[in-house]
Amino acid sequence: MMQYCIIFLFQLLSLTEASESGIVSGKVAKAHSRPYMVSLQVRGGHVCGGILIRKDFVLTSAHCKMSEDIMTVVLGAQNITKKEKSQQSIPVAKFYQNPNFTGQFHYDIMLLKLKTNATLNRYVKVIGLPKKDGKIPANIKCSVAGWGRTGPETPGSDVLRETTVKMQFNSECKNKWGIYFSGDQMICTHTGRKKGGICQGDSGGPLICNTKPQGISAFTKNKNKNDNKGCDDPKYPHVFMKIHFFLPWIKTVMKG
């Protein structure tokens, strides 16, 4: 059985070889071109990404919840190490992990209720969720973004980075990840050393296809001492929670 561990940039939580999801390769995103992007922070340190789906709710990964530490949502950021005038920092009032999440791979999705509403402007905007299950064929180009690591052994990025990825066949994801991959609630993408993809610190960030978020970054391969490859290993697809699968639960929580 493959071993795995979920690794945050801020804190290490050893579980089982898959790693939670920085953007490998890619490029620096145009400042504020993704106004829905969120940096989840604990004591000033970036731990995960997320997306603003309502002025009082953020969608991210369930494994991003860290014990009893106070988590802050930073909106409108380009460089998360600076106090930019565009930024809004709002404490999380309540965590809604999916009730079926067990701390590992499946049902790895979470809603964050903000203590106060975000102020929507040119730097901070809500992104709409997919209304129907528009199945995305393999090899269709989508995009990912985040402040995570740019390689298995590099630190997280100060500025938001992005890259283009291609959708992978579910059968290939199942072949590589076995029991850890569920075609009902997950989708996955090709990875390669040239184009790259997600890595540690990008968990909770979006997979955008045709302007809509279709997935939430979940896990990649962790670095293996035998082959010295990790999230940049082209043999292992990067996995995302399928947002559409969770829409009924999301709507129920947000109706509150």
Q: Is residue 6 one of the residues assigned to a domain?
A: no
Range of lowest pLDDT (23-27, 181-185, 233-237): 23-27
Q: How far apart are the C-alpha atoms of 166 and 227, rounded to whole Å?
A: 24
Examine the domain organization and report whether 25 and 143 are in the same domain.
yes
Active-site annotation holder among 63, 106, 238, 244 = 63
Active-site annotation holder among 21, 39, 61, 203 = 203
**What's the pTM value of the predicted model, to 2 decimals?**
0.88
Into how many domains does the chain fold? 2
- Average pLDDT rounded to a whole number, residues 167-188: 93
Examine the domain organization and report whether 88 and 136 are in the same domain.
no
Q: Is residue 199 one of the residues assigned to a domain?
A: yes
Reported as a pLDDT band with limits 50, 70 and 90, residue 68 is low
Active-site annotation holder among 32, 108, 232, 244 = 108
Q: Is residue 93 one of the residues assigned to a domain?
A: yes
**Is 63 an annotated catalytic residue?**
yes
CATH code of the domain covering residue 184: 2.40.10.10
Examine the domain organization and report whether 174 and 120 are in the same domain.
no
pLDDT for residue 151 = 67
Among candidates 102, 103, 109, 101, which has minimal Cα distance to 187? 109
Q: How far apart are the C-alpha atoms of 38 and 124, rounded to whole Å?
A: 9
**Is 190 an annotated catalytic residue?**
no
Q: How far apart are the C-alpha atoms of 89 and 142, rounded to whole Å?
A: 29
Domain hosting residue 191, numbered range: 21-29+128-221+229-245
Examine the domain organization and report whether 70 and 189 are in the same domain.
no
Q: Comparing 1 with 105, which gets the higher pLDDT? A: 105
**249 three-class SS:** helix
Examine the domain organization and report whether 25 and 149 are in the same domain.
yes
Q: Is residue 66 one of the residues assigned to a domain?
A: yes
Q: Is residue 14 one of the residues assigned to a domain?
A: no
- Average pLDDT rounded to a whole number, residues 59-68: 88
Q: How far apart are the C-alpha atoms of 70 and 47, rounded to whole Å?
A: 12
CA pseudo-torsion sign 12, 39, 138, 229: negative
pLDDT for residue 91 = 96
Reported as a pLDDT band with limits 50, 70 and 90, residue 18 is very low
Q: Are strands 110-114 and 12-13 parallel, antiparallel or unpaired?
A: unpaired
**54 three-class SS:** strand
Reported as a pLDDT band with limits 50, 70 and 90, residue 222 is confident
Continuous H helices in 86-220 = 170-177
Rounded to a whole number of angstroms, the CA Rg of the chain reads 16
What residues pair up with 37 in beta bridges, in sequence order?
51
Examine the domain organization and report whether 178 and 106 are in the same domain.
no
Examine the domain organization and report whether 25 and 135 are in the same domain.
yes
Reported as a pLDDT band with limits 50, 70 and 90, residue 9 is very low
Task: Inform me whether the pLDDT recorded for 35 exceeds 70.
Answer: yes
Q: Is residue 15 one of the residues assigned to a domain?
A: no
The CA-atom distances, in angstroms, between 24 and each of 70, 127, 148, 171, 229 are: 29, 24, 8, 24, 13
The CA-atom distances, in angstroms, between 163 and each of 73, 144, 178, 207 are: 23, 6, 27, 10
User: CA 161: distance to chain centroid?
Assistant: 13
Q: Is residue 65 one of the residues assigned to a domain?
A: yes
Examine the domain organization and report whether 235 and 147 are in the same domain.
yes
Examine the domain organization and report whether 121 and 149 are in the same domain.
no
Q: Is residue 140 one of the residues assigned to a domain?
A: yes
**Is 108 an annotated catalytic residue?**
yes
Q: How far apart are the C-alpha atoms of 36 and 54, rounded to whole Å?
A: 10
**pLDDT digit string, tens, across residues 107-123:** 999 999 999 999 999 99
